[in-house]
Amino acid sequence: MTHSSPALQIESLNAWYGDSHVLDNIALHVSEGETVTLLGRNGAGKTTTLRSIVGLVRRSGSIRLRGRETIKSPIHKLAPLGIGYVPEERGIFSTLSVEENLRLLPQYADSAFTVAEIYRLFPNLQERRHSQGTKLSGGEQQMLAIARVLRSGARILLLDEPTEGLAPVIVQEIGDLLKKLKSLGYTILLVEQNFRFAKKLADRFYVMENGKLAETLTLAELNRQPDVLDRYLGV
């Protein structure tokens, strides 16, 4: 598969929580329309990498979105550049209804989904449009979290453990959704413990260990080297 210049380019990225140095000289890229997965054990630095991209931790180095340097950009300046972050905790407004969550955020691009388009993509959300976030299932909350990012017009998606704790049927729905978004040209950087899920979606894999990048593999290379997962993930 061929891709144009990177949608996301990271070089010499270091990050800290307080005095703890948790990312060490990370360099990676995600091309336009590509799906890339970060693999690694808990604590390897995967979530911190996503949080660093959107400025939620202290960081240094270079982070470019479609060629534009953003390492010093405040968080509120990133959404208009077309990037959307769905954290593991989902981050929806729990006291608001589904529809209030969808209508609350500004739209930054013509590519933003309308509420009607969101409901066609997520029929479950249309059925629950008047329900508060606290009354949604885990799967519905995850769908709403992704839907809110699509409402903003983001075309570069950072997804942290989107299948965590979800029933298999919902995992399948999330997988189908991400395949659809990929077919529409969305760029996706995915943190996912469920390798079998990620394997069906990703073009490439970065394996992280102790805050560093240990391996970069295509799906074909990973299939030829199954010992890599045993060595880094213990699976």
In the prediction, which pLDDT does 195 show? 84
Residue 17 included in any domain: no
Q: Looking at the 3D structure of the chain, how many domains does it have?
A: 1
Percent of the chain with pLDDT over 90: 72
How confident is the model over 160-216, as pLDDT tens digits? 999 998 989 999 999 999 999 999 999 999 999 888 899 899 999 999 999 999 989
How confident is the model over 69-98, as pLDDT tens digits? 999 998 889 989 999 999 988 889 989 999
Q: Which two tokens stand for residue 130?
A: 């008047």
Mean pLDDT of 12-30: 96
In the prediction, which pLDDT does 223 show? 81
Residue 102 included in any domain: yes
Share the mean pLDDT of the chain: 91
In the prediction, which pLDDT does 132 show? 93
Residue 105 included in any domain: yes
Is the pLDDT at 3 greater than 50? The verdict is no
How confident is the model over 175-186, as pLDDT tens digits? 999 999 999 999
Residue 138 included in any domain: yes
Phi, psi values for residue 145, rounded to 5°: -60, -45
C-alpha–C-alpha distance, residues 178 and 153, integer Å: 16
pLDDT tier, 1 (very low <50, low <70, confident <90, very high otherwise): very low
Is the pLDDT at 57 greater than 50? The verdict is yes
Residue 192 included in any domain: yes
In the prediction, which pLDDT does 59 show? 96
Give the range of the structural domain holding residue 84, as residue numbers without chain letter.
33-57+74-233
Q: Which two tokens stand for residue 76?
A: 């509120």
Residue 125 included in any domain: yes
Chain CA centroid to CA 4, Å: 20
The CATH number that applies at residue 181 is 3.40.50.300
In the prediction, which pLDDT does 4 show? 55
What one-character-per-residue DSSP string does 11-44 give?
A: EEEEEEETTEEEEEEEEEEEETT-EEEEE--TTS
Residue 24 included in any domain: no
Residue 128 included in any domain: yes
In the prediction, which pLDDT does 161 show? 94
Q: Is the pTM of this model over 0.85?
A: yes
